[in-house]
Amino acid sequence: MTNNSNTHHKSIGYLVWIFGFMGAHRFYYGKPVSGVLYFFTLGLLGIGWVIDLFLIPSMDREADLRYCEGELSYTVSWLLLTFLGVFGLHRFYLGKLFTGLLYLLTAGLFGVGYLYDLCTLNEQVHLANIQEQSFS
């Protein structure tokens, strides 16, 4: 079975690569372990960050194969998390009203929830898209 979906975009990957020394592109492509590692080592002291410039196309292909397209957009979710995550707007977008309000009132649960969502947002969108397809 082949998956011809385009859940993630190289252009967004390269855009967040600019902040890759903090692991942004790794989180975007569903690689939370290396994202956290990059976050704490500044992109493996910059060496891994430069190498990843050439690895983004393969990370994009892997993400497109791993995650399911659906009504919810990975790109919109990631943009909301990246720029407005402490306000919970990505959670409202995913239909999680209670935790969206909680994030809004606690600045993303004091940052811990924000880090959790960096590590799990792709899976959250994937599961929501699968559930939406099963009800269709």
Q: In the chain, where are the structural domains located?
A: 7-66, 72-136
For 36, the enclosing helix (H) or strand (E) is helix 32-45
Nearest residue to 72 via CA among 113, 122, 28, 4: 122
* Residue whose pair of structure tokens reads 């692991």 in the numeric block: 23
Residues across the chain: 136
Cα–Cα distance, 72 to 92 (Å, whole number): 12
Backbone angles phi, psi at 109, to 5 degrees: 50, 50
pTM: predicted TM-score of the whole model, two decimal places = 0.88
pLDDT in tens, the chain (136 residues): 445 689 999 999 999 998 777 899 999 999 999 999 998 999 999 999 999 999 999 999 999 999 999 999 999 999 999 889 999 999 999 999 999 999 999 999 898 999 999 999 999 999 999 998 887 6
